[in-house]
Homo-oligomer: A and B are copies of this chain.
Protein backbone atom coordinates (compact mmCIF):
# COMPACT_ATOMS: atom_id res chain seq x y z
CA UNK A 1 0.00 0.00 0.00
CA UNK A 2 2.81 2.36 0.92
CA UNK A 3 4.10 2.14 -2.65
CA UNK A 4 0.94 3.85 -3.88
CA UNK A 5 1.25 6.60 -1.32
CA UNK A 6 4.81 7.25 -2.50
CA UNK A 7 3.82 7.13 -6.17
CA UNK A 8 0.95 9.48 -5.39
CA UNK A 9 3.21 12.12 -3.87
CA UNK A 10 5.87 11.71 -6.55
CA UNK A 11 3.15 12.14 -9.14
CA UNK A 12 2.93 15.77 -8.01
CA UNK A 13 6.58 16.46 -7.62
CA UNK A 14 10.03 14.82 -7.50
CA UNK A 15 11.16 14.35 -3.92
CA UNK A 16 13.81 12.61 -1.84
CA UNK A 17 13.08 10.04 0.85
CA UNK A 18 13.45 12.38 3.77
CA UNK A 19 11.08 14.96 2.33
CA UNK A 20 8.57 12.28 1.39
CA UNK A 21 8.46 11.29 5.04
CA UNK A 22 7.85 14.89 6.09
CA UNK A 23 5.21 15.53 3.47
CA UNK A 24 3.41 12.37 4.51
CA UNK A 25 3.56 13.30 8.17
CA UNK A 26 2.18 16.74 7.43
CA UNK A 27 -0.66 15.77 5.16
CA UNK A 28 -1.53 12.10 5.59
CA UNK A 29 -0.81 11.25 9.19
CA UNK A 30 -4.45 10.85 10.13
CA UNK A 31 -4.93 7.94 7.75
CA UNK A 32 -1.45 6.67 6.92
CA UNK A 33 2.02 6.65 8.39
CA UNK A 34 5.32 4.96 7.61
CA UNK A 35 8.70 4.61 9.15
CA UNK A 36 11.60 6.31 7.34
CA UNK A 37 13.42 3.03 6.79
CA UNK A 38 10.25 1.59 5.32
CA UNK A 39 10.06 4.48 2.88
CA UNK A 40 13.66 4.00 1.73
CA UNK A 41 13.09 0.29 1.21
CA UNK A 42 10.00 0.93 -0.86
CA UNK A 43 11.76 3.56 -2.95
CA UNK A 44 14.51 1.08 -3.71
CA UNK A 45 11.98 -1.54 -4.79
CA UNK A 46 10.02 0.96 -6.88
CA UNK A 47 13.20 1.97 -8.68
CA UNK A 48 14.15 -1.65 -9.35
CA UNK A 49 10.71 -2.10 -10.89
CA UNK A 50 11.13 0.95 -13.08
CA UNK A 51 8.32 2.90 -11.46
CA UNK A 52 10.64 5.72 -10.44
CA UNK A 53 14.13 6.96 -11.31
CA UNK A 54 16.60 8.75 -9.09
CA UNK A 55 19.42 11.24 -9.37
CA UNK A 56 22.00 12.01 -6.74
CA UNK A 57 22.24 15.67 -5.88
CA UNK A 58 25.62 16.60 -4.44
CA UNK A 59 25.49 19.08 -1.60
CA UNK A 60 28.48 20.73 -0.02
CA UNK A 61 27.09 21.94 3.27
CA UNK A 62 24.46 19.20 3.68
CA UNK A 63 24.34 15.44 3.05
CA UNK A 64 23.81 14.39 -0.56
CA UNK A 65 20.24 13.67 -1.46
CA UNK A 66 18.76 11.15 -3.83
CA UNK A 67 15.81 12.70 -5.61
CA UNK A 68 13.19 10.37 -7.03
CA UNK A 69 11.09 11.04 -10.12
CA UNK A 70 8.09 9.03 -11.25
CA UNK A 71 8.25 7.33 -14.66
CA UNK A 72 5.50 6.75 -17.19
CA UNK A 73 5.17 3.18 -15.94
CA UNK A 74 4.84 4.54 -12.41
CA UNK A 75 2.09 6.94 -13.45
CA UNK A 76 0.25 4.11 -15.15
CA UNK A 77 0.43 1.83 -12.15
CA UNK A 78 -0.71 4.62 -9.88
CA UNK A 79 -3.62 5.59 -12.13
CA UNK A 80 -4.66 1.97 -12.31
CA UNK A 81 -4.68 1.67 -8.54
CA UNK A 82 -6.72 4.88 -8.24
CA UNK A 83 -9.29 3.55 -10.69
CA UNK A 84 -9.66 0.11 -9.09
CA UNK A 85 -12.58 0.14 -6.63
CA UNK A 86 -12.12 -1.15 -3.10
CA UNK A 87 -14.54 -4.02 -2.72
CA UNK A 88 -13.95 -4.34 1.01
CA UNK A 89 -13.79 -2.26 4.13
CA UNK A 90 -10.39 -1.68 5.72
CA UNK A 91 -10.46 -3.88 8.83
CA UNK A 92 -9.85 -2.10 12.13
CA UNK A 93 -7.32 -3.10 14.74
CA UNK A 94 -7.92 -0.95 17.76
CA UNK A 95 -5.87 -1.90 20.82
CA UNK A 96 -7.98 0.09 23.27
CA UNK A 97 -11.15 -1.74 22.27
CA UNK A 98 -9.36 -5.06 22.68
CA UNK A 99 -8.42 -4.08 26.22
CA UNK A 100 -11.85 -2.76 27.04
CA UNK A 101 -13.41 -5.98 25.81
CA UNK A 102 -11.59 -7.88 28.56
CA UNK A 103 -11.70 -5.16 31.19
CA UNK A 104 -14.33 -6.76 33.40
CA UNK A 105 -11.32 -8.67 34.68
CA UNK A 106 -9.39 -5.49 35.54
CA UNK A 107 -9.60 -3.00 38.39
CA UNK A 108 -12.42 -0.59 37.70
CA UNK A 109 -10.29 2.41 38.67
CA UNK A 110 -7.47 1.35 36.38
CA UNK A 111 -9.87 1.11 33.46
CA UNK A 112 -11.21 4.59 34.15
CA UNK A 113 -7.70 6.01 34.32
CA UNK A 114 -6.83 4.46 30.98
CA UNK A 115 -9.98 5.73 29.32
CA UNK A 116 -9.37 9.25 30.63
CA UNK A 117 -5.80 9.19 29.35
CA UNK A 118 -7.00 8.13 25.91
CA UNK A 119 -9.59 10.87 25.97
CA UNK A 120 -6.89 13.42 26.59
CA UNK A 121 -4.80 12.07 23.70
CA UNK A 122 -7.75 12.09 21.33
CA UNK A 123 -8.68 15.62 22.37
CA UNK A 124 -5.23 16.81 21.41
CA UNK A 125 -5.50 14.99 18.11
CA UNK A 126 -8.85 16.56 17.39
CA UNK A 127 -7.49 19.99 18.13
CA UNK A 128 -4.68 19.45 15.66
CA UNK A 129 -7.04 18.40 12.86
CA UNK A 130 -9.35 21.29 13.59
CA UNK A 131 -6.49 23.76 13.50
CA UNK A 132 -5.15 22.37 10.26
CA UNK A 133 -6.82 25.14 8.32
CA UNK A 134 -7.34 25.87 4.68
CA UNK A 135 -4.16 27.92 4.64
CA UNK A 136 -2.17 24.88 5.75
CA UNK A 137 -3.57 22.89 2.88
CA UNK A 138 -2.72 25.73 0.50
CA UNK A 139 0.83 25.67 1.81
CA UNK A 140 1.09 21.98 0.93
CA UNK A 141 -0.42 22.59 -2.47
CA UNK A 142 2.34 25.08 -3.25
CA UNK A 143 5.03 22.81 -1.86
CA UNK A 144 3.96 19.92 -4.06
CA UNK A 145 2.73 21.93 -7.00
CA UNK A 146 -0.71 20.37 -6.67
CA UNK A 147 -3.86 21.83 -8.15
CA UNK A 148 -6.74 23.62 -6.45
CA UNK A 149 -8.80 20.51 -7.14
CA UNK A 150 -6.60 18.65 -4.70
CA UNK A 151 -7.61 21.00 -1.90
CA UNK A 152 -11.13 19.61 -2.03
CA UNK A 153 -9.99 16.03 -1.51
CA UNK A 154 -7.32 16.88 1.03
CA UNK A 155 -9.90 18.74 3.04
CA UNK A 156 -12.22 15.73 2.84
CA UNK A 157 -9.57 13.55 4.49
CA UNK A 158 -8.98 16.23 7.13
CA UNK A 159 -12.70 16.30 7.78
CA UNK A 160 -12.66 12.51 8.19
CA UNK A 161 -10.01 12.96 10.88
CA UNK A 162 -12.14 15.50 12.73
CA UNK A 163 -15.25 13.31 12.60
CA UNK A 164 -13.29 10.29 13.74
CA UNK A 165 -11.86 12.03 16.76
CA UNK A 166 -15.19 13.59 17.70
CA UNK A 167 -16.80 10.17 17.50
CA UNK A 168 -14.03 8.59 19.54
CA UNK A 169 -14.27 11.22 22.26
CA UNK A 170 -18.03 10.81 22.38
CA UNK A 171 -17.62 7.08 22.88
CA UNK A 172 -15.03 7.63 25.60
CA UNK A 173 -17.31 10.13 27.36
CA UNK A 174 -20.20 7.69 27.24
CA UNK A 175 -18.16 4.77 28.43
CA UNK A 176 -16.47 6.71 31.22
CA UNK A 177 -19.87 7.94 32.39
CA UNK A 178 -21.27 4.42 32.45
CA UNK A 179 -18.36 3.18 34.51
CA UNK A 180 -18.49 6.09 36.91
CA UNK A 181 -22.15 5.45 37.64
CA UNK A 182 -21.41 1.83 38.41
CA UNK A 183 -18.40 2.63 40.55
CA UNK A 184 -20.40 4.67 43.06
CA UNK A 185 -21.55 1.50 44.75
CA UNK A 186 -18.78 -0.99 43.90
CA UNK A 187 -14.98 -1.40 43.81
Instruction: Give residues in A with beta carbon < 8 Å to B.
Output: 1, 4-5, 8, 11, 27-28, 30-33, 78-79, 81-83, 85-107, 110, 113-114, 117-118, 121-122, 125, 146-147, 149-150, 152-154, 156-157, 159-160, 163-164, 166-167, 170-171, 174-175, 178, 182
Which of B95, B147, B182 is within 8 Å of A1, CB to CB? B95
Copies, count: 2
Separation in Å of the A173 CB from the closest CB of chain B?
11
Residue contact B33 to A91, C-beta cutoff 8 Å: yes
Residue contact A104 to B156, C-beta cutoff 8 Å: no
Known contacts A82-B106, A85-B114; A32/B171 CB under 8 A: no
Residue contact B117 to A99, C-beta cutoff 8 Å: no
A85 and B91 CA atoms in complex are apart in Å by 24
Residue of B whose beta carbon sits closest to that of A164: B167
Known contacts A96-B90, A163-B170; A104/B146 CB under 8 A: yes
- On chain B, the residues within 8 Å of A90 by CB distance are 93-96
Separation in Å of the A14 CB from the closest CB of chain B?
16
A32 and B88 CA atoms in complex are apart in Å by 16
- In the A-B complex, the 7 residue pairs with the smallest Cβ-Cβ separation, listed nearest first, are A31-B97, A104-B149, A167-B167, A8-B102, A104-B150, A31-B94, A82-B106
A30 and B81 CA atoms in complex are apart in Å by 26
Residue contact B153 to A104, C-beta cutoff 8 Å: yes
